[in-house]
Structure formats: C-alpha cells, structure tokens
C-alpha cells in the first residue's frame, strides 16, 4: 500500500486513542502514547507459539506489537473493530488476529482456551464488577497478566478502598465506574488467585505484573462462592 493510501485510511477514523506508528512513516493522531507501558512489560522480542489475549484492545497498539513478535492474538473490545482504529490497523499491517466485539464477562475457557499472556491495560476502572473481571481473567490465564489502571491516590493507602463515580462524573466518561486505590487492586488480585510479581505506581496510575497462583485453595473457593452459577458443584 502506498503511503498516501495509508494516510487516507488513518484520516478516515474520527478519533484515535492510541498514538503509535501504524505504518512506516505514519503515526496515528491519538491522545495517548502507550509505548512506555510496552517498555515496562519487558517482553522478549520473540513470542512465537504464545497465545495472547488483549482485553480492551482499542486501536490495537498492543495487539500489533504482540503479533509482530509472532504471538497468536485474540483481541476483544466492547466496540466493533470498524468503529475505531483497530480495523485500519489490521488493513495496514496485514496481521492475522481473532477479534471479538464482546463483554469480558462473557469470556470462557470452553470457547477461547487459555493464554500465556494477558494484556489488561486501562480497563479495570471501566468495569462495574472489578473482582468478577479479575476472577474471569484468572480462569483464562496460564502465565503472565499485565494490568494497568487508574488508581485513586487520595484514598488511605493503608486500607483497600475504591470510590464509585456516578454517571460521567469521572473525566466526563460514562464508562468509568470506579477509582480503586493501589491497595484495593493488589488485594483483589491476590484473592482472585494471582501472584504479584511487581508493581509500580505514578500519579493516578498503577501498573502490575502477575503470574498465576494456585497456592491457596481458599482463593478459588472464595471466587466460586461469589460467582458460580451452581453452588452445589
């Protein structure tokens, strides 16, 4: 594809969230550059044979990076891929990605299998039930999960707490529900069955790297009691 054609495709999208080089010499006019998060992930250059789940893929920055490294990527988002930049990213790069417009609560091992890498960036605080989401992701994970989220640093850091936001009162975005503090996120991750490998906070953001944790049977039992459709199972 010629540069002029690629530029026209990029310009056809009214709003880009991710700012990244989508085609040689062409950078999307996004409002957010996630390259620094990719650096924090410290991923190997080769991911051939790895299955990756990109939750809340948006315009596809992380999906593209994982695919370029040889991973087999499943991407999900609440929007169809043609309603934001993901579809253009696919066209310009010719990558083979399995994309689903869906709610993450509908993920299942039966349908999708499990994943060695899960990318969960900028999504947690958009979810009405954060713990249920983490429990669902734990079911899908057999390796590493990378989480990044808004975190409320004004709340007491010694107590796990979260502030609820009515309507669009957080950043004018009706899809924002919660502002958990760091302690709240870390405690939920442990109860959901993740082992905390490293975490880093700056401003009102938190980045966490986890692995799966099967050490404590109470953890899986807590999630079963909370979310199982059949408590007799």
Pick from 36, 33, 38, 6: nearest CA to 17: 33
Residue 200 maps to a domain: yes
Question: For the residues 10-16, what does the mean pLDDT come to?
Answer: 97
Question: For the residues 159-169, what does the mean pLDDT come to?
Answer: 96
Residue 13 maps to a domain: no
Structure confidence by residue, pLDDT tens digits, 211-224: 997 766 667 788 88
pLDDT of residue 233 exceeding 70, the answer is: no
On whether the CB atoms of residues 19 and 31 are closer than 8 A, the answer is yes
Structure confidence by residue, pLDDT tens digits, 32-80: 999 999 999 999 999 999 999 999 999 999 999 999 999 999 999 999 9
- Within a 10 A sphere around the Cβ of 133, how many other Cβ atoms? 22
Residue 159 maps to a domain: yes
Owning domain of residue 163 = 33-227
pLDDT of residue 169 exceeding 70, the answer is: yes
pLDDT at 221: 83
CATH of the domain at 212: 3.40.50.150
Residue 104 maps to a domain: yes
Pick from 185, 191, 175: nearest CA to 208: 185
Distance CA 156, CA 142 (A): 33
Phi, psi of 137 (to 5 degrees): -65, -35
Both tokens of residue 80? 């169809």
Pick from 117, 23, 123, 118: nearest CA to 78: 123
Residue 16 maps to a domain: no
SS (H, E, C) 104-132: HHHCCHHHHCCEEEEEEECCHHHCCCHHH
Residue 5 maps to a domain: no
Residue 1 maps to a domain: no
Question: For the residues 18-25, what does the mean pLDDT come to?
Answer: 97
**Count of the separate structural domains present in the chain:** 1
Residue 41 maps to a domain: yes
* pTM (predicted TM-score): 0.94
Structure confidence by residue, pLDDT tens digits, 67-87: 999 999 999 999 999 999 999
207: DSSP letter: E
Structure confidence by residue, pLDDT tens digits, 84-117: 999 999 999 999 899 999 999 999 999 999 999 9
């Amino acid at each position: 594809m010629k540069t002029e054609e690629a530029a026209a495709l990029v310009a056809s999208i009214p709003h880009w969230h991710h700012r990244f080089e989508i085609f040689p010499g062409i950078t999307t006019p996004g409002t957010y550059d996630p390259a620094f998060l990719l650096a924090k992930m410290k991923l190997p250059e080769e991911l051939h044979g790895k299955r990756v789940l990109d939750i809340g893929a948006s315009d596809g920055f992380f999906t593209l990076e994982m695919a370029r490294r040889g991973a087999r990527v499943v991407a999900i988002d609440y929007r169809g891929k043609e309603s934001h930049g993901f579809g253009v990213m696919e066209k310009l790069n010719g990558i083979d990605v399995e994309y689903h417009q869906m709610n993450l609560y509908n993920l299942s091992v039966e349908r999708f299998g499990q994943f060695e890498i899960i990318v969960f960036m900028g999504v947690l605080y958009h979810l009405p039930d954060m713990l249920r989401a983490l429990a669902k992701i734990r079911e899908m994970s057999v390796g590493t999960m990378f989480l990044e989220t808004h975190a409320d640093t004004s709340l007491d850091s010694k107590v796990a707490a979260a502030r609820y936001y009515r309507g669009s009162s957080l950043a004018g975005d009706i899809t924002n529900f919660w502002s958990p503090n760091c302690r709240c996120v870390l405690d939920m991750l442990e109860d959901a069955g993740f082992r905390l490998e490293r975490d880093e906070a700056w401003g009102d953001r938190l980045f966490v790297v986890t692995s799966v944790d099967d050490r404590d049977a109470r953890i899986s039992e807590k999630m079963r009691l909370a979310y199982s459709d059949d408590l007799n199972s």
